[in-house]
Amino acid sequence: MRYRYHLNLAGFLYLAVTLLVGFAATIRPNNLLVWIFGLLLGLIVLSGIISGGALFRISMRRLDPMNGRVDRPMIVRYAIQGGSRFIPLFDVRIREIPSGQDDSSDWTTFAASASAWVMHAGPGETVHAEAVFVPRRRGRMKFNRLEARSSFPFGLIGKSVTIGTELETLVFPRTCRIRERAIESLLGGGIGGGRSGPGTGSIGEYAGLREYRPGDSVRSVAWKRVRPDRSPVVIQRAMPSPPRLILVVDLRRPTAQLRLLAGADHREREEEAISFAASIAETSINLGVEVGLRLAGIAMPDLPMRGGRRHLGRLQAQLAAVDLDAERLEGNIAIPPPNVASVVVIHVDRVDPTLGHHGAWHLLPANLAEFAQHPAELRAWTTVSPEASRHDSGDAGAAA
Amino acid sequence: MTPLSRYRRHLRIEVLLAVTAYAVALQNFELLFILGAAALASGYVSDGPRGRYLPIWATTILAAIFFGWSILSFLGNPDPASAMALVGRLGCCLAVLRLFGRRSAREDRQVILLSVVAVVGACLYSFQFLFGLVVVVFSLHTVQVIMLNRLQSGLDDARAERRDLIADLPVPPVEAASGRSPIGQFRGLVVGCTVVACVLATGVFLIFPRKIDAGGAALGSRTGFTAEVDLTRNDQIEQSNREVFTVEWADPQGVPIQWPQPLRLRGAVLDRWSSADRRWMSSVGRRYLRTVTTSGDPDVFVSLGAAEISRGLYTQTVTMRSLATSRVFARWAPLAIACDQPRTFTIEPADLELEDTVTGELDRFTTYRLLIDPNPSPEAIESIAGDAIPPVRPPVFNVPGVREEAERILREEAPALLEPLIATGNGADADEANRWRRNRQMAEIFTKYLRGEDFRYTLDLRRFVQRRGVDPILAFLTEYRFGHCEYFASGLAGLCQSMGIECRVITGFVAVEYDDAIGRYIVRESNAHAWVEVRTGRWSWREFDPTSSEVLDELQAGRRSWADDWRWLYDRADFLWTSRFVTFDGTTQATLADRFGEFVGSGGWGILEDAKAISRKVNRYFQLGPAGYIWLGTVALAMGLAVIAIVAQLRRRRRIRQVLHAGKDLPNGRIREAAFYLDVLDAFAAAGCAKPESTPPMKHLDAVLRVRPDVAEAARPLVEIFYEVRFGSRRLDASARRSVSDSVAQLRTMAKGGLQ
């Protein structure tokens, strides 16, 4: 914990006014001016005492913000507790301090921020304040130190307290909503369908009989049927089976070796590919599709096909954690056959049909504009420009 | 509800206080009405529900107009002394103008700064009590407004930061994180800051280096008594109605009466004009000073030198109110003096000037009495003066031009007086009598001339420009022909002395306001006056007042109003303000330091002595007599006990609230009814079973049962009653309260082991 005093511009102006009044009181026999001069001096002393006393032994705790998303406000909450027994806290600004080291994961390289503001906290009382960050890129964002600063009550002398408390959070890639028709096309047969699952019970269509296993409900036993060995059988029902999609992001080629036109930003194209994948994953899961993820060229585990928001979070976290500076791996990855799931491969520069089976979709970042529900929104993206992207790669992408 | 809810209102009050302070200091009440009304209107126009603001171009143009107005005012009267007044006025105007503009905390800081500039500028022009009061209130209010402004500034900064963020989704607005009761704690902090700042300011005030004897200079331009006539000032003199003392004028039978003419009470006698210093002074080298000491009995008169005091004299009784001076104000001619304090007075036999130069300034409640002979015989004066009056000789008055002016006046009014006196042959006495008569005639002509239409009485001397090499008396007589009583008296004295007539300028008070209800004259600072005494005989002097009698009539006519009945309240405070604050100078500082040193050296005995002195004063004020000390002691004891009881009661109530976890919503009546529970807890503690805070009362009773079953059984009904009162809304009537009180008493006795 580090305490510091600051004399700001208002303090200098105040000091100048005080000296002027003191000068006037010296040359004029006016006791009222002398008293005002004393009052001004007294306020300077008070300003230091109160701002210092209020922040003395202040306790600050950052509450885990879980994750953020590119270009979306990320709320970071803090729990502030005044350490003074008598002096309440007023007008305290809480802000994150850069680590000061050349660290690419420091939050300052990620986001613009608006600090938190505490109007009041009584002695020993805990209040919660929130700061807002707007991340500008995807990745692991680190918070390092916290600073509480206050120049209350008179704004003359500021006091700041800095404490070190590290926290790492993920910034998910930027996403846009994909057209439902496009998702249907990717799935190759519309959204819907069913499959026989292992579940039993009274819900769902009749699918068949199977032997009784310990744990099966008594209500699912088919009392009119028995096995030859007289053991009971249970009714197996068909569960709704959502369509499945496997997203493959082709990152096998190192950034510097991407086959893009001169002048193109290679790293941006890679980020666009990741955003494209995240957008498809998000829209698909929202439509009830089970989505799996394979990252070709990156040593990260495959994510199985699942649905639900929790799985979406895992997908996005996986995409957020992709380190494009890491060493790329050669060779293909295992892709399930077409009867298991639809496959969408997103390439960065050129389509490579060897990745994925014959029915797989091969897309480029330039295709995002065709898939997006509101293509106009893409113009606001700082990195994505569909026209430029298409022009950079010289490849319009290929369908299955 | 947050502290910021009333921020705008406080800012408006701040500007109003600044405008009021400026208007009071500069006596510019038109500005107060205009700007005050505008500031109030801004509360509805700009800060009200409609929220209409002046556009920036309009505020800019108006600001430029105000600035130009100030520049033109300065060019119209390029007096550096009035520059700060113009700056203050500009500050007031701009601050009010700012209230009508769209503004953030930053612009509000400008409003505060402009207000402070206006008040600091006004401080250079006034020291009166009312102004001081407004300034003190303004200063303390400024502390609060600055703190509110800091809060608003923090909120504005947080909002601005959020506004600057660009995101796909709207950024959530700032929510002011706040704990419990922010307003109460903010007020507490404001009060704490204000008190500490005032203490620090007073500390700086006490130790700030000052000039010795600067108290008089600090008073600045204000009507009032001074022991010299200084004609170097050319500012506007402020009319002060502060009551300085009262005078009872009793006839030889002792009946208070009103004198047919205004009572001129002499304070200082000045007989020499110093052209270099431009002021009237007393002649140096007084060799005949005598001292008389009063006994402390106001009925025992001490002769001022007269061989015998006849019975047919008037009695003048002066009771000091709010004037810190050592001078004795007496009508011509005082023959004996008495005082209610043992004091030593010095008398100058030549001019009967009285002063307490030994004991110091007369206190607030001092009363002195004088036996006055309004028409003293030459023998009486001779018996007092003795050899003090020097032989008749022409005075020295070396101001070129004044004699020519005097001769011009005489040539126009009475040319015969310019001709040299011719010896009548009837002896030296007859020639001397002719000379005295001629002197008196000249003085009458000069007085009549100065009272004429060519001369104008005014307290505003800002147009009386003092020029190097031009004597102010000559400038008054020949050029400006306006001024206040000191100029008129100086003009008359100058004319007379230039013609060789022996005369002197008298400063003091003229008592014109007679209060029939109390049979006394009320003398105020505005009654301070100057006139001339011309020697009209070897042992006789005659008063000549060149100031128009209409001025005195105005003083008397405009004085009484219903407000004057309550003026004594204001006057007391005004007196304290002037004597303790305005005139606090290096001498007072040294005295204070000495007293502090004595206190430290005496180890606190000084406080005892001070207490004794205060008790003596109070005793004397209420005229309680020797038994009064017993009464005072009884009252002090009762007050001390009352303070102890109140503090104990407050502490007990606070403890009850803590024990009951009662908020402010629980009325005091309920608290009082449940207070017996505190005694129950004390009884538990006395029995060795103190209740932990976290344990409920009934559960604790089980714990007590294991240790002291008798106490627990006795306490059980009380605890049940406590539950009913605290949580069951049961109200205890008088009999129930008595029963509970008896039970608690028994429980306490039992807990201490006294009852089984």
Please enumerate in sequence order all residues whose Cβ is within 8 A of that of B646, keeping only pairs 6 or more positions apart, or say none: none
Residue B95 resides in a domain: yes
pLDDT at B469: 81
Min Cα distance B365 → chain A (Å) is 26
Question: Is B201–A35 a contact, with Cβ atoms under 8 angstroms apart?
Answer: yes
Identify all chain A residues contacting B133, using CB atoms and an 8 Å cutoff.
Answer: none
Question: Is B204–A91 a contact, with Cβ atoms under 8 angstroms apart?
Answer: no
CA A87 to chain centre: 38
Report residue B424's pLDDT band, with 50, 70 and 90 as the boundaries.
low
Which of A380, A350, A382 has the alpha carbon at shortest distance from A363? A350
Residue B42 resides in a domain: yes
Min Cα distance B189 → chain A (Å) is 8
Question: Is A114–B189 a contact, with Cβ atoms under 8 angstroms apart?
Answer: no
Question: Is A10–B582 a contact, with Cβ atoms under 8 angstroms apart?
Answer: no
Residue B478 resides in a domain: yes
Q: What is the C-alpha separation between A20 and B127, in angstroms, rounded?
A: 19
Interface list for A 150-189 with B (CB within 8 A): 151-155
Interface list for B 460-499 with A (CB within 8 A): none
**Domains defined along chain A, listed by start:** 1-172 (2.60.40.10), 180-189+243-393 (3.40.50), 197-240 (no CATH)
Interface list for B 137-196 with A (CB within 8 A): 139, 143, 146-147, 149-151, 153-155, 157-158, 161-162, 164-172, 174-182, 185-186, 188-189, 193, 196
Look over chain B and give the mean of its residue pLDDT values, rounded to a whole number.
84
pLDDT at B352: 84
Token pair in block for residue A294: 């394979």
The answer to whether residues B377 and B430 belong to one domain is no
Min Cα distance A113 → chain B (Å) is 7
pLDDT exceeds 60 at position B555: no
- Residue among A29, A43, A93 minimizing CB distance to B218: A29
Question: Is B172–A29 a contact, with Cβ atoms under 8 angstroms apart?
Answer: no
pLDDT at B114: 93
B87 contact A CB<8A? no
Q: Are strands B528-535 and B503-511 parallel, antiparallel or unpaired?
A: antiparallel
Dihedral sign, Cα of residue B330, residue B333, residue B339, residue B342: positive
Q: Are strands A244-250 and A342-346 parallel, antiparallel or unpaired?
A: parallel
Residue of B nearest to A10 (CA): B109
Identify all chain A residues contacting B181, using CB atoms and an 8 Å cutoff.
Answer: 122
- Residue among A21, A72, A93 minimizing CB distance to B168: A72
Amino acid letter at B211?
K
Which of A13, A14, A20, A35 best probes binding to B when mutated, by most B CB atoms within 10 angstroms? A35
The answer to whether residues B267 and B145 belong to one domain is no
The answer to whether residues B550 and B440 belong to one domain is yes
The answer to whether residues B154 and B259 belong to one domain is no
pLDDT exceeds 90 at position B750: no
Q: Are strands A139-150 and A194-200 parallel, antiparallel or unpaired?
A: unpaired
Q: Structural domain of residue B442, as residue ranges?
A: 392-509+527-561
The answer to whether residues B659 and B555 belong to one domain is no
pLDDT exceeds 90 at position B490: yes
Residue of B nearest to A111 (CA): B165
| More confident call, B630 vs B444 | B444
**Whether the Cβ atoms of residue B448 and residue B413 lie closer than 8 Å to each other:** yes
Mean pLDDT over B348-361 rounds to 78
pLDDT at A385: 46
The answer to whether residues B61 and B36 belong to one domain is yes
pLDDT at B282: 82
Please enumerate in sequence order all residues whose Cβ is within 8 A of that of B408, keeping only pairs 6 or more positions apart, or say none: none
Identify all chain B residues contacting A44, using CB atoms and an 8 Å cutoff.
Answer: none
The answer to whether residues B378 and B438 belong to one domain is no
CA-to-CA dists, residue B679 to B50, B662, B683, B685, B744, angstroms = 58, 17, 6, 10, 7
Q: What is the tens place of the pLDDT at every residue in B362-387?
A: 665 678 899 888 888 888 888 877 77
The answer to whether residues B424 and B548 belong to one domain is yes
Residue B611 resides in a domain: no
Mean pLDDT over B76-87 rounds to 84
Question: Is A127–B179 a contact, with Cβ atoms under 8 angstroms apart?
Answer: yes
Min Cα distance A239 → chain B (Å) is 38
**Whether the Cβ atoms of residue B443 and residue B544 lie closer than 8 Å to each other:** yes
CATH at B442: 3.10.620
Dihedral sign, Cα of residue B415, residue B418, residue B420, residue B425: positive
- Residue among A43, A129, A132 minimizing CB distance to B177: A129
Min Cα distance A22 → chain B (Å) is 10
Mean pLDDT over B465-474 rounds to 84
Report residue B756's pLDDT band, with 50, 70 and 90 as the boundaries.
very low
Min Cα distance B506 → chain A (Å) is 28
The answer to whether residues B58 and B149 belong to one domain is yes
The answer to whether residues B557 and B411 belong to one domain is yes
Q: What is the tens place of the pLDDT at every residue in B493-531?
A: 999 999 888 899 999 998 888 888 788 888 888 888 899
pLDDT exceeds 80 at position B678: yes
- Residue among B127, B153, B182 minimizing CB distance to A32: B127
pLDDT at A396: 47
Mean pLDDT over B259-266 rounds to 88
Q: What is the C-alpha separation between B333 and A376, in angstroms, rounded?
A: 107
Residue B569 resides in a domain: no
A28 contact B CB<8A? yes
Interface list for B 279-338 with A (CB within 8 A): none
Q: Phi-psi category of A139—alpha, beta or left, where left has phi over 0 and alpha has psi -120 to 50?
A: left
The last residue of one of the domains, among B385, B403, B418, is B385
State what percent of residues in chain B have pLDDT above 90: 25
Question: Is B123–A30 a contact, with Cβ atoms under 8 angstroms apart?
Answer: yes
pLDDT at A379: 67
Q: What is the C-alpha separation between B393 and B159, in angstroms, rounded?
A: 87
Interface list for B 105-144 with A (CB within 8 A): 109, 113, 116, 120, 123-124, 127, 131-132, 135, 139, 143
Q: What is the tens place of the pLDDT at every residue in B294-334?
A: 888 888 888 887 777 776 789 999 988 766 678 889 998 88
Report residue B552's pLDDT band, with 50, 70 and 90 as the boundaries.
low
**Whether the Cβ atoms of residue B331 and residue B264 lie closer than 8 Å to each other:** yes
**Whether the Cβ atoms of residue B385 and residue B396 lie closer than 8 Å to each other:** no
Identify all chain A residues contacting B182, using CB atoms and an 8 Å cutoff.
Answer: 119-120
Rounded to two decimals, the ipTM of the complex is: 0.81
Q: What is the tens place of the pLDDT at every residue in B389-413?
A: 666 667 778 888 889 999 999 988 8
The answer to whether residues B462 and B541 belong to one domain is yes
- Residue among B151, B170, B217 minimizing CB distance to A119: B151
Q: What is the C-alpha separation between B668 and B343, in angstroms, rounded?
A: 57
A94 contact B CB<8A? no
Identify all chain A residues contacting B109, using CB atoms and an 8 Å cutoff.
Answer: 10
- Residue among A118, A128, A134 minimizing CB distance to B167: A134
Residue B93 resides in a domain: yes
SS3 B367: strand
Which of B250, B326, B336, B265 has the alpha carbon at shortest distance from B295? B336
Count: domains in chain B: 4
| More confident call, B569 vs A36 | A36
Q: What is the tens place of the pLDDT at every residue in B571-627?
A: 778 777 877 788 787 877 888 888 788 777 776 676 777 788 888 888 777 777 777
Report residue B425's pLDDT band, with 50, 70 and 90 as the boundaries.
low
Amino acid letter at A17?
V
Interface list for B 191-250 with A (CB within 8 A): 193, 196-205, 208-211, 214, 217-218
Report residue B223's pLDDT band, with 50, 70 and 90 as the boundaries.
low
pLDDT at A195: 46
Residue of A nearest to B181 (CA): A122
Question: Is B166–A134 a contact, with Cβ atoms under 8 angstroms apart?
Answer: yes
- Whether residue A153 is preceded by a cis peptide bond, meaning omega within 30 degrees of 0, is yes
The answer to whether residues B536 and B436 belong to one domain is yes
Q: What is the tens place of the pLDDT at every residue in B196-205?
A: 999 999 999 9
pLDDT tens over chain A, length 400 residues? 777 888 778 788 888 888 888 888 887 778 888 999 999 999 888 888 888 888 888 899 998 888 889 988 999 999 999 888 888 999 999 999 988 777 778 888 888 888 999 999 988 889 999 999 999 889 999 998 999 998 888 888 888 999 988 899 999 999 999 999 899 888 876 554 444 445 555 566 787 888 888 878 888 888 888 888 888 898 887 766 788 899 999 999 999 888 888 888 888 899 999 999 999 999 999 998 999 999 999 989 999 999 899 999 999 999 999 998 888 888 778 888 877 888 999 999 888 888 888 888 999 998 888 898 888 777 666 544 445 445 555 454 444 4
* DSSP secondary structure string for all residues of B9-27: HHHHHHHHHHHHHHHHHHT
pLDDT at A399: 44
Interface list for A 357-396 with B (CB within 8 A): 380
- Residue among A41, A71, A114 minimizing CB distance to B162: A114
B83 contact A CB<8A? no
